[in-house]
Amino acid sequence: MKVLVINTGSSSLKYQLMDMDGEILLAKGLCERIGFYDSVHKYYGKDNYKSKTVKHLKNHLDALEDMLSYLVNRDYGVIENINEIDAIGHRVVHGGEKFSKSVIIDGDVLKGIRDCIDLAPLHNPANIIGIEACMHEMPNKPMVAVFDTAFHQTIPIHAFIYAIPYELYEKYGIRKYGFHGTSHRYVSKRAAKILNKSLDKINIVSCHLGNGASICAIKGGKSVETSMGFTPLSGLAMGTRSGSIDPALISYIMEKMDMTAEETTNYLNRESGVLGISGISSDFRDLLKASEKGNKRAKLAIEIFAYRVKKYISEYIGVLNGIDVLIFTAGIGENNALVRQLITHNMEYMGIKLDLEKNEQARGIERNVSKNDANVQILVIPTNEELEIARECINILS
């Protein structure tokens, strides 16, 4: 069965075509700057074929048509015609309380995703555009929506309600939703496989550390707590996002900096985090280089990032009454040995003992980096959200 996975942003479209019989990636690509005259289509196809084309992709429908023309191309395509695609999996950012699992897309589901636009005004409209473009281009193909928030719908009420008047939850749906659910679910299932344990019987803390970063406490395969909240702005200090701050700072910053509410939200989303602290970059590779050269604020940014992760891990170990597995995933978690070392330093009393040598060797591959005598298995697991979405498609449709 061939599954096409689609992930649309406001001006981008990412895709992967997978043959799920052997879970083989057939082709993938990315259209960026959709709507501009210099849109870019990067495509990776058969026999390591790679191309980057600059052209005008007017809208997402245009991008989708372009993608299909690549997939069926005689020279570098991977299928003969579109009918070979059996199903389409869509990443949808926000499913609110309505969607606690993946669903087959029909008119009602589309309306449900629309109803959640208020909760994710930047993301859900783009996801809907992607779904509608596929409906137009490939009518009658089964399509499945896989929500970033769905995995966290098992978080208990005492963990998802904010300590503000309860009516705000009832009236406006203000509560913790959590994000990165597809990634946390994928790595937690991988961890159980790697350790040859039943997922129902283990407690996991999963650290998804990329540009956006979140931590999740997972009990028996279910999310019971996570660091992102009503929006992806809360929790850890991230590439450009502040993470949790004193809420009274918002009005204080607005006044001091003479900014509107929207400008302040942007400031906290785009100019804060390790970028704001270092004044250099949101990218950890740049921060590491600068820090090695003696830049104090780059060093401080890395330390603050690691310190916050450590605090969340400790908190979640308390929530779970101990853990069996600690997972590091996403760009920083998978590749940055120094950050993993800083985070796990001095956590022996919680059973966390990092093997420094194994840690140095783990880069972008699945690896157990804990000492042999440690109670907690520390795993580095590259995330694969697209594969998880394709698997969800297969599960739901069968």
Report, as residue numbers or ranges, the catalytic residues.
Answer: 148
Stretch that binds ligand ADP, among 138-146, 167-175, 281-289, 350-358 (CB under 6 A): 281-289
According to the binding rule CB under 6 A, does residue 210 interact with ligand ADP?
Answer: yes
Smallest distance, ligand ADP to C-beta of residue 172, A: 28
Smallest distance, ligand ADP to C-beta of residue 73, A: 28
Nearer to ligand ADP, 254 or 300 (CB): 300
Smallest distance, ligand ADP to C-beta of residue 303, A: 15
According to the binding rule CB under 6 A, does residue 179 interact with ligand ADP?
Answer: no
According to the binding rule CB under 6 A, does residue 285 interact with ligand ADP?
Answer: yes
Stretch that binds ligand ADP, among 209-217, 220-228, 290-298, 313-321 (CB under 6 A): 209-217
Smallest distance, ligand ADP to C-beta of residue 336, A: 4
According to the binding rule CB under 6 A, does residue 330 interact with ligand ADP?
Answer: yes
Contact 28, 16 (CB under 8 A): yes
According to the binding rule CB under 6 A, does residue 112 interact with ligand ADP?
Answer: no
As a whole number of angstroms, the distance between CA 51 and CA 359 comes to 35
Choice from 149, 336, 370, 384 touching ligand ADP (CB under 6 A): 336
Place of tokens 């783009």: 126
What is the CB neighbour count within 10 angstroms for residue 56?
12
Stretch that binds ligand ADP, among 78-86, 147-155, 241-249, 282-290 (CB under 6 A): 282-290
Contact 242, 250 (CB under 8 A): no
Contact 273, 253 (CB under 8 A): no
212 to 241, contacts with ligand ADP by CB under 6 A?
A: 212, 239
CB-based closest residue to ligand ADP: 331
According to the binding rule CB under 6 A, does residue 341 interact with ligand ADP?
Answer: no
According to the binding rule CB under 6 A, does residue 191 interact with ligand ADP?
Answer: no
Nearer to ligand ADP, 2 or 123 (CB): 123
According to the binding rule CB under 6 A, does residue 283 interact with ligand ADP?
Answer: yes
According to the binding rule CB under 6 A, does residue 211 interact with ligand ADP?
Answer: yes
Nearer to ligand ADP, 203 or 383 (CB): 383
Size of the site for ligand ADP (CB under 6 A): 12
According to the binding rule CB under 6 A, does residue 328 interact with ligand ADP?
Answer: no
Binding mask 237-276 toward ligand ADP (x if CB under 6 A, else -) reads --x-------------------------------------
According to the binding rule CB under 6 A, does residue 193 interact with ligand ADP?
Answer: no
Give which of 204, 216, 202 is closest to 159, Cα–Cα: 216
According to the binding rule CB under 6 A, does residue 382 interact with ligand ADP?
Answer: no
User: Which chain residues interact with ligand ADP by CB under 6 A?
Assistant: 210-212, 239, 283-285, 330-332, 335-336
